[in-house]
Chain A
């Protein structure tokens, strides 16, 4: 049994690496983009705010799977082609930035107007006000929701098998089909559970770090 598991490990680990790559690249790109989305969404320039609203509606209102298929299999029909990984990242980042954008918007809107006014009478520029006064307070407020999204993202990475990228779930499924065994799927389940456990602990730590003020 143990030796069977050992023979599975290389392909499972390879899948894990792809899963983590999709996960981290998406996270690193979509969180800053989400901040920008929230600013656009809150813009007083109506066309910008309306277009952003439309974008958020499309991204949240259609399946991520469809968005991946659309970009990788659909766009080449009109002459826009990406390699598998790029296509997947574009779909994930656009999708997650919409969700993060709405989370940040909620956070920004919950900051007391007095904070902006205090910054304004002190003469701080709008940029400094946002980066130094508003954003740090927003991060504390949105951390629990962000943590939720991050856990979802770990699991959503399994969708990339549709374009043939060898991630965790695909590695398990191939082995399970080949060997007619449940073990590879159990192994993959354990891997996902470990990943989500690690990120849950990490976010609890970050939340604790932000509890230095009330």
Chain B
């Protein structure tokens, strides 16, 4: 188990966004969280990668607590531990958030050099290997605006992987892709999982979830409604809310 979320709660003002969320993620697993927009999926992901702070509950990442309840308070890791915990989570944003003024290579090596303390050569070697495995070895000197959507996404994946994370999170990875590119990103994800990466995907692309997931969580209105292994999830339930969502 590399990620454990326990009784996580989060409100914005009076609105409760996450209600008692608990789940686990293991190495080599591809967990997809699906659900209608406004279900709290993105907020959950933002709590896990530390961009939002939860109000209550536990997030446990690879033997360290990002946050936990203590004496009726939600305690967060101190900034040094926080930095280490962050390195264990790779994040691929929905719109990738590449740095537009840097080349593909510079985008990828910035953090390994300044966060992991790699030498520039080490970082470049590592980045080049990743780019090669993602079929982008001829794009090292391109700027993000010169890349297609699918290429930008793979650069974002390489940038996240270059810090050697244990978990890779992807927010709506197919939302900006042409349908014919979805198979490509799916095999990249499957390949990473087969090497032991834990993968957490947020999507409302049902076909994509069916294709890549090993386990599925359905969220609605801030709660986990249903969780199960893929086959079990897509075949055996009779929940109207999920059926309604899946028909959409």
Contacts and interface: CB of A to CB of B under 8 A. Distances in A.
Interface of A: 112, 114-115, 117-118, 120-125, 128, 132-133, 136-137, 140, 212-214
Interface of B: 49-51, 83, 86-87, 89, 91, 93, 95, 97-101, 110-111, 114-115, 143-145, 159, 163
A96 B144 CA distance: 35
Contacts of A125: 114
Contact of B111 (A124, A212, A213, A214): A124
Nearest to A117: B51
A112 B66 CA distance: 26
A114 B95 contact: yes
Of B87, B110, B145, B159, chain A has the most CB atoms within 10 Å of the CB of B110
Contacts of A124: 110-111, 114-115
Contact of A213 (B83, B114, B143): B143
B108 to A, nearest CB: 10
Nearest to A114: B97
Contacts of B114: 124-125, 128, 132
A140 B163 contact: no
23 contacts: A112-B97, A114-B95, A114-B97, A115-B97, A118-B91, A118-B93, A118-B97, A120-B86, A121-B49, A121-B89, A121-B91, A122-B110, A123-B83, A123-B86, A123-B111, A123-B163, A124-B115, A125-B114, A136-B101, A137-B100, A140-B101, A212-B143, A214-B143
A140 B95 CA distance: 22
B53 to A, nearest CB: 13
A94 to B, nearest CB: 31
A124 B111 CA distance: 6
A132 B143 CA distance: 16
A115 B102 CA distance: 12
